[in-house]
Structure 1
């Protein structure tokens, strides 16, 4: 009888111990935020070289917020725009064109300004120096290369500056480098890209002499955005963690915690003005006129 009672109490104690262990495991699971945070970046097909600088940032945010964090590249603005429209990206390192759409249409929240605040970005219209094209008006009935929708310097701003012209055709380049390649080989008469991208890639075409036909108005710097679907407490955790991140992580990710977040109000208005042209740019010839208005 004593043996049976002893075994009974032993079984009870064992069950209690298992219950305590299970509860401890559940508590640990609850410490990890089950909602995945996806960090979106545009890498222009440069693969791991472009993504390596975000790896430590990803690991740091995961640790600080106790969340599952994944890094997801898009290889051009069009792919990135799709992810933003679906709100798949929770944290976005957004170039200006994407930022304008994300803030105005998808209600993303700007958290930090990125590098480039020391000098505003600009869009350039580039031609080969041996072309007899001297003004924007000379591009009438010519073929022009733009980048894909979502690019500020390669799409929205040049469309604004080209307003009123009829172009023979618009070709859409997947990367800024492709724009220069097409200009160099003569398959387009002119192309648009950012000043930074032009300075970066023009040396790769040593046999071609390029000329800047037009320099645009200034474009606001890129920003780090947060999706509106991120829960409020987690939003505060992310913002605090990014503010307090070590300098090397901040430098690699390329944002500036102490910089003022730029206003996008005026740039969003510019994007809205050229949006009606998007059906025209797909046509041949491309008549860059808004039928409902006489001005862009």
Structure 2
């Protein structure tokens, strides 16, 4: 005799609900993972040297990517103005920063200095150069004269000479695309004086055998460039990056241009210098160029 067992629908439903609950619980118990890795962008200034300038950072980029398991991009800027814009917008997590850029990044944008840079680890100075035959013997003699500065934003070519020229009225300021151009303009009389770093002057003066130059003024010492970290980087990742850079093979660190064992320079005084110059930056392209803040000019005229 065949026996039929009746199971109410609600009991049939229970195993299915329980099974779904177990599966759901299992899914929820798994740790949440993010399949999209963190992204880091390394900012460098290539000064128009293109791929040649960037090649030396490639091994460093790959090394940081392997150590942090992040996607790492290398992004060049071709002058300090582009770099300042990227830093203000927090587009760069790591920055190989020359002194002028470092002062703004540390002072205004709260970037963190991690390492001193070998490429400019020896402190430098800015020089104001004139032709030997010019009757200019002191900075005040440059009043109503034409002066060449370097790239806007650079330390030795822009910020420091502006600080040393502060208070003067110049006939015109011309901006040279390269340090050698500064000497060319001085040599052919296009400008009466020009600003150039001590190293660049020694490098390029040999090209002007027919012109004798004279140093009118030597600036204070400029701190070395630094490797910077954005304040937007998570603290744990910051420690991870710093350890990776500190433990990097010597050849990778050397190619990238930083020295793990070197003391990080103090930027306090240099930041003050840049902050004093910034109020007169709006006037550097005027003719004449009155190198005083607008408020000081108004007070003089009243």
**Contact (CA 8 Å) 2:280, 2:293: kept in 1 or not?**
yes
What is the count of residue pairs matched by the alignment? Answer: 269
**By how many angstroms is 1:67 displaced?**
1.3
**By how many angstroms is 1:206 displaced?**
4.3
Q: Aligned pair in 2 of structure 1 residues 199, 59: CA closer, same or farther (>3 Å)?
A: farther
Q: Aligned pair in 2 of structure 1 residues 204, 40: CA closer, same or farther (>3 Å)?
A: farther
Equivalent of 2:57 in 54, 62, 74:
54
**By how many angstroms is 1:90 displaced?**
1.2
User: Helix, strand or coil: the match of 2:114?
Assistant: strand
**Could you tell me which residue of structure 1 aligns to residue 85 of structure 2?**
82
Q: Root-mean-square deviation (CA), in Å?
A: 2.4
**Contact (CA 8 Å) 1:117, 1:259: kept in 2 or not?**
no
- Structure 1 residue runs of 5 or longer lacking an equivalent are 1-22
Which aligned pairs between 1:214-233 and structure 2 lie closer than 5 A? Answer: 214-233=217-236
Distance 1:135 1:177 in 2: 23
| 1:94 maps onto 2:131 in alignment | no
Distance 2:94 2:178 in 1: 23
Equivalent of 2:214 in 211, 223, 228:
211
Summarize deviations over 1:49-98 as a string: whole Å, max 9, x none. Answer: 22221111111111111111121222221121111111111111101110
Q: Aligned pair in 2 of structure 1 residues 206, 251: CA closer, same or farther (>3 Å)?
A: farther
Q: Aligned pair in 2 of structure 1 residues 57, 200: CA closer, same or farther (>3 Å)?
A: farther
**By how many angstroms is 1:256 displaced?**
1.1
Q: Give the ranges of 4+ consecutive aligned residues of structure 1 lying more than 6 Å apart after TM superposition.
A: none
TM-score, length-normalised on structure 2? 0.82
TM-score, length-normalised on structure 1? 0.83
- Structure 2 residue runs of 5 or longer lacking an equivalent are 1-29, 298-302
Distance 2:42 2:180 in 1: 25
**Contact (CA 8 Å) 1:44, 1:175: kept in 2 or not?**
no
Structure exhibiting the larger radius of gyration computed from Cα positions: 2
Distance 2:194 2:235 in 1: 43
